[in-house]
Chain A
Amino acid sequence: MTLTASPTDGLPVSDVDPFSHEVLEDPLPLHEQLREAGPVTYLSRYDVHALARYDEVHAALVDWQEFQSAAGVGLSNFRTEEPWRPPSLLLEADPPQHDAPRRVLTAVLGPRALRRLRERWAADAEELVDQVLAEGTEFDAVTALSQAFPLRVFPDAVGLGPDGRENLLPYGDHAFNAFGPSNDLVAQGAPRIAELSAWVGEQCQRESLAEEGFGAAIWAAADRGDITPQQAPLIVRSLLTAGVDTTVHGISAVLYAFASNPDQWARLRAEPALARVAFDEAIRWESPVQTFFRTTTTAVRIGDAVVPEGHKVLMFLAAANRDPRRWADPDAFDLGRDPSGHVGFGMGLHQCVGQHVARLEAESVLTALARRVARIELAGPTRRHHNNTLRAWGNLPMAVQPA
């Protein structure tokens, strides 16, 4: 990228495209450049201000008053542009409209509500790992584990029917691409999106959902009057949009981290209770959700710069999660570290409402795998999957040595 100083206020200016394939393949050099350029950099190509240091990203995430979400959390500004689908009642909403949906979903997906799933998911993970190992000790971890486990347990937990579950991944992939500019990745997903959206829309209706599950619990909240019946299907939609791809890429991230750090795998095997920390450390290290935008509700001073009102601000969660000002040896995947406070799930009142679900899924898989597998290593060239928002693996060939 070309980095220059603005003639007027000394603000660093860059013409980089953070959504180019070159950056999506390896965003780490850009993250470092942006962090070191200053607390805020103007990205001239998209007319946005970028934050890449931990303190500024954290501060913007929690400050919903000055950094709103209702104008969209992608590049598109809903004040002036039509959203590609009806906005999310959670991700793309501000208080007070945000309050009731968030309150309901927080309860439905809270740690206490998940207790009844813990044993079942542990057993499901054991079964899946047994199946995978029965078929051989070399496999693509993305399809065999990262996709297989969430697609096995999450749609059941929501209460989806058996048909069409293969639509979840491409729908989520497109939704996360759509937060970026309208580039080739968005164009790639466009032909199928009407069909996928229609399927997702159908699954959100009360009659499509099982009598028990997250979906039914959301409709029960509508029956109690905690949300309106019009809000219920859109809140179910949030689960289906944000609950699958993110977890898949999170599990891939932790598996890749272990495959490339064999000493850490040995440590997990010796201390299986580290599974929870391992997953959050991988979320910090890899940041499956790389970026989100906010829109300023007033002129906001950041460092020496003033971002005007109504302006898009791009927060690099991934760069904050490796900011050396915050993290010692940030590029190391280290189970001895306390990853608490990373912004991989966001922070503040929009913080990932499904984070406890993701943790429980990952913990289930890691615990089962650690019990059965002594060594885990990469067994061939890996391939990235590019997405405007997500950091993902297309495949992860792995070889394991059963314990």
Chain B
Amino acid sequence: MLGVQQPWAGHAGVDRTVVRVEEKTRVADGVVTLTLAAPDGGRLPDWTPGAHVDLTLDNGLTRQYSLCGDRWDAHAYRVGVLLEPAGRGGSAYVHQQLAPGHVVGLGGPRNDFPLVPADSYLFVAGGIGITPILPMIVQAELLSADWRLIYGGRERRSMAFLDELAAHGDRVQVRPQDEHGLLDLPGFLGRPRPGTRVYGCGPAPLLAALERACAGWPPRTLHTERFVAAERGAPVRTTPFEVELHRSGRTVTVAPGTSVLEALAEAGVEVLSSCRQGTCGTCETTVLAGQPDHRDSLLDDEGRAAGDCMYPCVSRSCSDRLVLDL
């Protein structure tokens, strides 16, 4: 059925920067998956394999999770979350407190780990690093590319998605460390050959070993995903903030649940926009002061670090005050 919505319904519309937890499922020792949906059940922003979302949890922590569901389902995201007892509390919160019905903040999706065209792919996953690889496998199949996966983990029962991977037969090598020892990367990769891309995601020591193993391969063969904890001067806020309009000298207050774009429109300041989900770039606005809370799919880390522009259809503020060139 054609999902007719009213995406233009202005401030009466839904908050595009939150998602609701629909399901939480334990899929391996220490791993749960979350199924996330828009609060109104509408379409979620499109994504490509390798993409991640930022989830802002109730305890104020923002964490990045690779999307590992089916992109043909526009109404649900799936992420896998490993319990990391030594972590800063994000995974513990997801495992112990987050429950179906809870609403969490959403940023993105963004993709810093895109699948580039190739004749064949070699996928290397360690532990929870399997998550971005799952949709890549679907993609490789659809593109009729040759592919193989080697998947390591501490022990078999800690390794998620083995059931889904079983369908692929001997393209997938499952290698729990307690049974097989460390992954034999040189053996898996074989001789260097052009037209092949190696995609790796997992713990730092695995990625370091993979880099060494790919040293003799043509340049740009290896693609890896490294999540760097987002360093923010201030945590994501759940309280109102002020937007100062530099050219007119006016100040507009943005309440939680209202986008900067909507707050500006209500104050009679129209900023041209189009997609209203942080993907098209039409509403790009120059930031003169303050620290934006970027929720768009457009800016890469470099663009975010520059801090000189934002997309007010979805992005908000970490600081009490933002000064925009409007």
- A residues at B contact (CB < 8 Å): 39, 54-56, 58-60, 62-66, 95-97, 99-100, 103, 110-112, 224-228, 231, 276-277, 280, 300-302, 326, 338-342, 345, 347-349, 351, 355-356, 359
Contacts and interface: CB of A to CB of B under 8 A. Distances in A.
Given A65-B72, A110-B298, A225-B220, A351 B274 contact: yes
Contacts, number: 105
Nearest to B276: A341
B123 to A, nearest CB: 15
B174 to A, nearest CB: 25
A224 B220 CA distance: 7
Nearest to A223: B220
B4 A59 contact: yes
B84 to A, nearest CB: 31
Contacts of A277: 270, 272
A96 B142 contact: yes
A300 B3 CA distance: 10
A254 to B, nearest CB: 14
Given A224-B220, A326-B8, A338 B270 contact: yes
Interface of B: 1-8, 43, 46, 48-49, 71-72, 74, 111, 114-118, 139, 142-143, 197, 220, 265, 270, 272-276, 280-284, 298, 303, 309
Nearest to A96: B139
Contacts of B275: 347-348, 351
B73 to A, nearest CB: 8
A63 B139 contact: no
B274 A59 contact: no
Contact of B2 (A56, A103, A342, A351): A56
A65 B70 CA distance: 11
The 7 closest A-B pairs by CB, nearest first: A340-B273, A301-B1, A338-B270, A341-B8, A59-B4, A55-B4, A302-B2
A228 B46 contact: no
B74 A65 contact: yes
A227 B116 contact: yes
A63 B3 contact: yes
Given A349-B46, A355-B280, A103 B114 contact: yes
Contacts of A99: 48, 114-115
Contact of B281 (A103, A110, A227): A110
A347 B277 CA distance: 11
Contacts of A341: 7-8, 273-274, 276
Contacts of B272: 276-277, 280, 338-340
B139 A348 contact: no
6 contacts: A65-B74, A99-B114, A110-B281, A112-B284, A340-B282, A341-B8
A116 to B, nearest CB: 15
Contacts of B1: 300-302
B325 to A, nearest CB: 11
Contacts of A301: 1-2
A226 B2 contact: no
Contacts of B43: 62-63
A64 B273 contact: no
Nearest to B114: A103
Nearest to A60: B2
B165 to A, nearest CB: 19
A356 B298 CA distance: 14
B74 A100 contact: no
A212 to B, nearest CB: 21
A338 B283 CA distance: 12
A43 B8 CA distance: 28
B117 A231 contact: yes
B116 A63 contact: no
A356 B48 contact: no
A196 to B, nearest CB: 29
A59 B3 contact: yes
Given A95-B71, A277-B270, A280-B272, A228 B117 contact: yes
B90 to A, nearest CB: 28
A96 B121 CA distance: 15
Given A276-B272, A302-B2, 12 more contacts: A58-B8, A96-B142, A100-B116, A103-B111, A112-B309, A277-B272, A300-B1, A301-B1, A340-B273, A341-B8, A349-B46, A359-B282
